[in-house]
């Protein structure tokens, strides 16, 4: 089931986020950031504040009482795509990947977008994250040529778009 995240979900979301980043981005983002600057406790506080203040629209994927992934969605944050919806972030427990959880979450995001009248969905991927790029391409997303440098991580992102 996919449902709106609550404060009670935050510790599990933080675990998934930190472990997911370390597994997916090792070699793309410095170990200094992944293992010294990122931590579960810090992430718990950030997620908790976002939920309490209703600053983000976050959903969890839960099966058998276990949160296996989560995503944050909302209107596109890019000036040139004000009429698009965006998958701001998606994280699946690395030990539970390749079970269709990510696909179901992306499809849920697309349904939300369509129900709200959006005709296009946007997401950003690290340029060197080939696994994620292939995943999104299999779901019909295509790079649109827009790039951004995330100075904090010394990494470039590319934007992917899908017409809904």
pLDDT at 27: 84
pLDDT at 108: 97
Query: Picking from 7-11, 32-36, 72-76, 133-137, which range would have the lowest pLDDT averaged per residue?
Result: 32-36
pLDDT at 28: 85
pLDDT for 87-100, tens place per residue? 999 999 998 988 99
Name the nearest CA neighbour of 117 among 85, 148, 147, 79.
85
pLDDT at 67: 97
Q: Which helix (H) or strand (E) covers residue 130, if one does?
A: helix 130-138
pLDDT at 10: 97
* Two tokens, residue 16: 């998934």
* Two tokens, residue 2: 């996919």
Which structural domains are found in the chain, ordered by start?
2-163 (3.40.630.30)
pLDDT band of residue 49 (cuts 50, 70, 90) is very high
Query: Comparing 54 with 58, which gets the higher pLDDT?
Result: 58
pLDDT for 125-157, tens place per residue? 999 999 999 999 999 999 999 999 888 888 899
In contact, 44 and 10? CB cutoff 8 Å: yes
Contacts of 26 (CB under 8 A, 6+ apart): 34
pLDDT at 111: 96
């Amino acid at each position: 089931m996919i449902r709106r995240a609550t404060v009670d979900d935050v510790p599990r979301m933080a675990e998934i986020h930190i472990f997911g980043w370390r597994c997916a981005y090792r070699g793309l983002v410095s170990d200094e950031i992944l293992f010294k600057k990122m931590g579960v406790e810090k992430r718990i506080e950030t997620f908790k504040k976002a939920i309490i203040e209703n600053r983000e629209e976050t959903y969890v994927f839960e099966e058998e009482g276990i949160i296996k992934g989560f995503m944050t969605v909302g209107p596109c944050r890019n000036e040139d795509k004000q009429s698009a919806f965006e998958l701001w972030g998606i994280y699946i427990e690395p030990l539970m990947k390749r079970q269709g959880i990510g696909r179901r979450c992306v499809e849920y995001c697309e349904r939300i977008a369509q129900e709200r009248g959006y005709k296009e969905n946007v997401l950003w991927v690290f340029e060197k994250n080939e696994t994620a790029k292939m995943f999104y391409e299999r779901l019909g997303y295509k790079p649109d040529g827009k790039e951004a440098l995330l100075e904090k991580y010394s990494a470039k992102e590319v934007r992917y778009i899908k017409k809904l």
